[in-house]
Structure 1
Amino acid sequence: MPRCDSIEDVIRNFGDLQELAAEMDSFRELAISVESRRSELLSEYPDQWIAVSRDGVVATADTRIELFDLLSEKRIRPKDVYHDFLDTTPRTLLL
């Protein structure tokens, strides 16, 4: 990893900021889409890892490693999809 002596160095290492912003917007849209369809997806893919693109669910697997292997086989970069585990028994977080 390159050494960063200033905030400008850090920003430069991220690459093109407009491209980064577009990627973040796309990721946010996918996350919102998954959250709005969580019940439906949970009934279709219970206790599964899913990868979702703009085209819908592109891969499912029992483990995150299997999911990433499937994405690799399909030549889909993990950063180009939203991935999440659809847990049928989520834990309650006490604060």
Structure 2
Amino acid sequence: MKTVKENYFTNTQVDTARFAKALGHPVRVAILELLNSQSCCYHGDMAEELPIAKSTLSQHLNELKDAGLIQGTITPPTVKYCINRENWALAKYLLGNLLK
């Protein structure tokens, strides 16, 4: 059974809020800028680029992954991250419409 909130908000509103929340920290914005400037990047390489601890970086990467903005490929002992191009395009569209 759906809750009142689930019936009230549209999928577009829910998706827009999910993407906006993921963009709500400057480290996540920096990660997205880094990943958008290249095809993919390894976790260790990002840790060298950004002035934060690896554990903190992992938390921010998980937030972006949960929001669907990035995707990771695990090949032990490394993890490679890339922009999820389909959701990236959707986020640009939704946020662009919101900010018109």
Flag whether TM exceeds 0.5 (same fold): no
Q: Say which structure is richer in helix.
A: 2
Determine which structure has more spread, i.e. the larger CA radius of gyration.
1
Question: Which structure is richer in relative contact order (CA contacts within 8 A, separation 6 or more)?
Answer: 2
TM-score range, shorter chain: under 0.3
